[in-house]
Chains A and B, each alone.
Chain A
Amino acid sequence: MTTQQPPRLEMRRVVKTFGPVVALDSVDLVVARNEVHGLLGGNGAGKTTLMNVLYGLYRPNSGEVLLDGEPVTVGSPRDAIDAGVGMVHQTFLQVDNYTVTENIVLGTDVSGALRLDLDEARKRIRELSTRFGLSVDPDAVVEDLPVGVRQRVEILKALYRGARLLILDEPTTNLTPQEVDDLFGSMRAMVDDGMSVVLITHKIRETLGVCDRMTVMRDGRSVETIERSDTDADHLADVMVGGTTGPGELIDAAALGAVDAEEVEVTVSSVRDAVGVSVQGLVVNNDQGHELVPGFDLEIREGEIVGIAGVAGNGQVELAEALAGVRAVRAGSVEVGGRSMCGRPASAWLDHGVAYVPEDRHRDGILPTASITENLVLGSQRSPGVRRHGLLDWGAAKQRAVEAIEQFSIRANGPATPAGDLSGGNIQRVILARAFARRPRMLILHNPTRGLDLGSTRFVYDQVRVATDAGCAILLLSEDLDEVIAMSDRVIALFKGSRAGEWQKGTVDAYEVGRSMTGLGEARV
């Protein structure tokens, strides 16, 4: 580290609140020149919030920001861009029906105020993409591009604007291990070129793999800044979870990416002999009518967790919704508990004990304006249990809601609280409470812990174990490879809606799964 030159970025005592919630509690951060700086922490630690403040998306309550030693006021993304800050968000901020070039030049002084001319821009994009190893076709429409390429577009957007400090927010979430290696290569090229990079991540292995230094955040505070050479995985895990990682929480830690999942000993298995779910030749279309799942076979035994690993967009949503009875099946059969379910309405699946915890819990999981009570009734409003004299019995429903709030430790003012006012973790608890109230035979979990804080993540894992002990067949679809490997009795790699590989617990190799997820692996079915 050079001591004469001021650091690239210095943030001092930044405070940000959302209503009563203190998201950032006087956070300090120093990023040097020419370094990859890891911003490490569990979900909810405040990493993204801090960077959104730096990028002008959130207005801090107080605190200072210095770039290259100069104090700056970042009131909007425009200010951040002008100050040389670029940010790649977790969800890509792209105009789907624009081309790569159009997305990149958007908002810049591209030549031709009165007559748009993109030739110059195209040339520059080509040049940048060669220099940093980020290959894209400048004329492709972004909605047609795979996730990995769309991410390169996001990075090019920042580079095109001459960013000196690039923030990457959980950039590896949807990438295969191979793509992650490429990305890390590009990051090094940027640092060699004189830039600084901030890598937001909750995965210890990643920070150790690419970062020069790292700052660990927890509960809206920066806990410690550490040199790469002074630390190792165990130490980081300790700092990250607050030094409470006992041996019993090893699987959780693995699922969080703190330790390598392959090394975790198999604990007690609850897998029974009886077949819980049997799927044959399942063909499912997506919303546009394209065949995204071309024929899928699957057997899940009672008490077994089958994990599906795959890059988003390879048919996970379609598969999950088809197996939940929500999406129409083109062909094939699904048997749950020995009963054939295909062709029955979604309500029949629910009644038969198929529970679905959807990926997007706000969009698909709750009625935001309705009370917790009403949300817990949702889906069973026609079953006899909630009715009296043919009418809905809200008194009894409220009573059950009070019990669920207690049992699932939902933090709310009471059963009348609108579900939309709850935090993500509490919303997920409501959804789980609803799912478990029906004693499911089959449980489909899609990205069940995405965006949850540590406590809620653990709660979800605990509930999953309770369910398997009761003999529930579980299908876990997750973009978090560590989570899939740590939780599942069997891992299936999904590529273009088909099985591209299968591993029993204890025989999984993350790189091998990654290759299969991108269609490069040898199928071991």
Chain B
Amino acid sequence: MSETISPAPSAAPPDAEPSNRVVEALWLLVPYVVSVVLAFVVGGLIILALGQDPVAAFESVLTTSFNTRFGTVETLHKWVPILLCAYAFAIPLATGKFNIGSEGQLLVGATGGVALGILWSDLPMVILLPCVLVAGALAGALWAGIAAFLMVKFNVNEILSTVVLNFISFQVIDYVASQVWPDRGAGHPATTPVGDGALLPGIGDTPPFHSGVLLTLVLVVVIAVFMRRTATGFEMRAVGANLRAAQVHGIKTSRLAGAGLVVGGAVAGLAGSIEVAGVHGKMLEGMQSNFLILGIIVGLMARGSMLALPVVAFGIAVLEVGAGSMQRTAQVPVEMVLIIEALILLFLLLSDIVRTKLRGR
């Protein structure tokens, strides 16, 4: 069937724009609120079924971040890698590519950072710290670059290559942490500490939060401007929206898609070096935590909006910090939070359908 009948545009006079905006914003926000509430309701039912108290559980999930300064700092420290891994997922996704490799890129970025931090440990901070951070970003970019190269040159599916590279990176850091610069006394594969000049200075009183948080805030602005206001950012979004149309209109699509992956890898790599320089002071096995999954969840929840990412990432960081204390105080396993996050995502997807129905298609 050829789509020939003009849909009668629902009458919306142009002068009604301001109130329209409020309505549009509500259509955007309400699904988030409803999805979160529903996910907590379902999660609460599961907790009840497990024989625990959902109110106590959710209280500790939601308040830990704000009750103590320690909780707040921990939340900010989680927010940084979660958000950066979310960018690592969302930037390539803007071009229609799925980067499921941010943990590998983070680990290799951490390797790059820790290498300079150990080798040049005597250098002063003004030189060493930028070197460590840049090395992390470059190493992450390089790691994602393998997937980008395979994708552009050989048409290898980026989902698979980025995932497989994660598993290779686990062995890489195990090798570095147990053979190259091992810390024998750690009782766990870990490198020796980096030099003092490689550490991000803390901000505020005990416990301080590291200045990587501010760096990340700057990055939020840079990325938003890049995606929205530069020709390259526009072209990336065009490739994601319709690859063929972008091609027909003079955009070098496969190069841009590859570039998207590399930029994403750089951001994840930077997360790795910030973790080294700001949190651990060294590299250790398992430092990737579950940032990959959380980054993807945040990236999917933000639905392509670079501005929503930091906010959603903060919400997820709150849940993650709360998860540990929920397990301690309410005896509900931490995995409950992952289930709730997945549920929020599913409900958010479902809300599209409800919204379409409500608005009469």
Contact = CB atoms under 8 A, between A and B. Distances in A.
Interface of A: 18-23, 43-44, 46, 48-49, 52, 90, 220, 321, 324-326, 345-350, 356, 358, 363-370, 374, 377-379, 381-382, 387, 390-392, 394, 411-414, 417, 421-426, 450-453
Interface stretch (B41-49, B144-152, B244-252): B244-252
A345 B1 contact: no
A426 B237 CA distance: 22
Which of B4, B12, B229 gathers most chain A CB within 10 Å? B4
B245 A20 contact: no
Contacts of B12: 413-414
Contacts of B231: 381-382, 387, 392
B361 A19 contact: yes
Contacts of A22: 5
B229 A350 contact: no
Contacts of B235: 381
A394 B228 CA distance: 9
A379 B242 contact: no
Contacts of A425: 4, 6
Interface string B320-361: 000000000000000000000000000000000000000011
Given A20-B360, A350-B249, A367 B6 contact: no
Contacts of B228: 392, 394
> Which applies to chain B's interface (DSSP): helix, strand, loop or mixed?
loop
A387 B242 CA distance: 23
Contact of B2 (A18, A349, A365, A450): A450
Interface size class of B (residues with CB under 8 A): 35 or more
Interface of B: 1-10, 12, 14, 17, 225, 228-231, 234-235, 237-238, 241-242, 244-252, 360-361
Contacts of B247: 326, 346
Contacts of A452: 4
Given A350-B249, A451-B3, 7 more contacts: A44-B4, A358-B248, A363-B242, A370-B238, A374-B234, A387-B231, A426-B6
B360 A453 contact: no
Contacts of B6: 21, 411, 423, 425-426, 453
A373 B205 CA distance: 49
Contacts of B230: 390-392
In the A-B complex, the 7 residue pairs with the smallest Cβ-Cβ separation, listed nearest first, are A451-B2, A44-B4, A347-B250, A379-B249, A19-B361, A367-B241, A346-B250
A378 B3 contact: no
Contacts of A23: 5
Contacts of A417: 9
Contact of A350 (B1, B2, B17, B250): B250
A108 B153 CA distance: 43
B250 A345 contact: yes
Nearest to B2: A451
Nearest to B226: A391
A356 B4 contact: no
A84 B4 CA distance: 29
A349 B247 CA distance: 13
Contact of A423 (B1, B3, B14): B3
A334 to B, nearest CB: 16
A366 B251 CA distance: 13
